[in-house]
Amino acid sequence: MKSVEGGTFALYSLLCRHAKVSTIPNQHKTDEELTTYSRQTYEENSLAAKVKKWLEGHAYKKNCLLILVLIGTCTAIGDGILTPAISVLSAAGGIRVQNQNMSTDVVVIVAVIILIGLFCMQHYGTDKVGWLFAPLVLLWFILIGSVGLVNIHKYNSSVLKAYNPVYTFRYFRRGKSEIWTSLGGVMLSITGTEALYADLCHFPVLAIQIAFTLVVFPCLLLAYTGQAAYIIDHKDHVVDAFYRSIPEAIYWPAFIIATLAAVVASQATISATYSIIKQALALGCFPRVNVVHTSKKFLGQIYIPDINWVLMILCIAVTAGFKNQSQIGNAYGTAVVIVMLVTTFLMIPVMLLVWKSHWILVVIFLVLSLTVELPYFTACINKVDQGGWVPLVIAITFFVIMYVWHFCTVKRYEFEMHSKVSMAWILGLGPSLGLVRVPGIGFVYTELASGVPHIFSHFITNLPAIHSVVVFVCVKYLPVYTVPAEERFIMKRIGPKNYHMFRCVARYGYKDIHKKDDNFEKMLLDRLLIFVRLESMMDGYSDSEDFTIMEQKAERSSRSLQLIEKAGGNTLSSIGDLSYSSQDSIVPAKSPLTGNSLTRYSSQTFGDELEFLNRCKDAGVVHILGNTVVQARRDSGFVKKVAVNYVYAFLRKLCRENSVIFNVPHESLLNVGQIYYI
DSSP label at residue 23: S
- 442 near 624, Cβ under 8 Å? yes
- Counting residues of the chain whose pLDDT is more than 90, the rounded percentage is 9
Q: Does residue 588 have a pLDDT over 50? A: no
User: Is the pLDDT higher at 44 or at 254?
Assistant: 254
Confidence (pLDDT) at 200: 59
**SS3 annotation, 513-568:** CHHHCCCHHHHHHHHHHHHHHHHHHHHCCCCCHHHHHHHHHHHHHHHHHHHHHHHC
Q: Does residue 557 have a pLDDT over 60? A: no
Cβ neighbours for 676, distance < 8 A, ≥ 6 positions apart: 411, 412, 415, 628, 629, 630, 631
159-168: long-range contacts, CB 8 A cutoff, minimum separation 24: 159/225, 159/228, 159/229, 159/232, 160/225, 162/225, 162/228
Query: What confidence tier does 391 reach under pLDDT thresholds 50, 70, 90?
Result: confident
Distance CA 426, CA 458 (A): 13
Q: Does residue 574 have a pLDDT over 50? A: no
Confidence (pLDDT) at 364: 94
Ranges 328-332, 355-359, 379-383, most confident = 355-359
Determine the average pLDDT of the residues in 140-154: 92
User: Is the pLDDT higher at 582 or at 362?
Assistant: 362
User: Is the pLDDT higher at 7 or at 186?
Assistant: 186
Confidence (pLDDT) at 312: 92
Threshold 0.85, pTM exceeds: no
Bridge partners of residue 83, in order along the sequence: none
Please provide the average confidence, as pLDDT, over all residues in the chain.
75
pLDDT digits (tens, 9 = 90+) for 254-283: 999 998 888 888 888 888 888 888 878 877
Q: Which domains does the chain have, with CATH numbers?
A: 8-386 (1.20.1740), 420-539+604-677 (no CATH)
Count Cβ atoms within 10 A of the Cβ of residue 661 and give its class: 0-12 exposed, 13-18 middle, 19 or more buried. middle
Distance CA 428, CA 462 (A): 18
**SS3 annotation, 423-488:** HHHHHHHCCCCCCEEEEEEEEEECCCCCCECHHHHHHHHHCCEEEEEEEEEEEEECCCCCCCHHHC
- 241 near 231, Cβ under 8 Å? yes
pLDDT digits (tens, 9 = 90+) for 589-610: 333 333 343 334 333 455 677 8
Of 250-264, 285-299, 595-609, 622-636, least confident by mean pLDDT is 595-609
Confidence (pLDDT) at 522: 80
Query: What confidence tier does 566 reach under pLDDT thresholds 50, 70, 90?
Result: very low
Determine the average pLDDT of the residues in 232-248: 85
Nearest in space to 282 (alpha carbons), one of 77, 30, 656: 30
Q: Does residue 143 have a pLDDT over 90? A: yes
Cβ neighbours for 139, distance < 8 A, ≥ 6 positions apart: 257
Confidence (pLDDT) at 575: 28
Ranges 88-92, 113-117, 415-419, 460-464, most confident = 113-117
Query: What confidence tier does 563 reach under pLDDT thresholds 50, 70, 90?
Result: very low
Confidence (pLDDT) at 553: 40
Q: Does residue 145 have a pLDDT over 90? A: yes
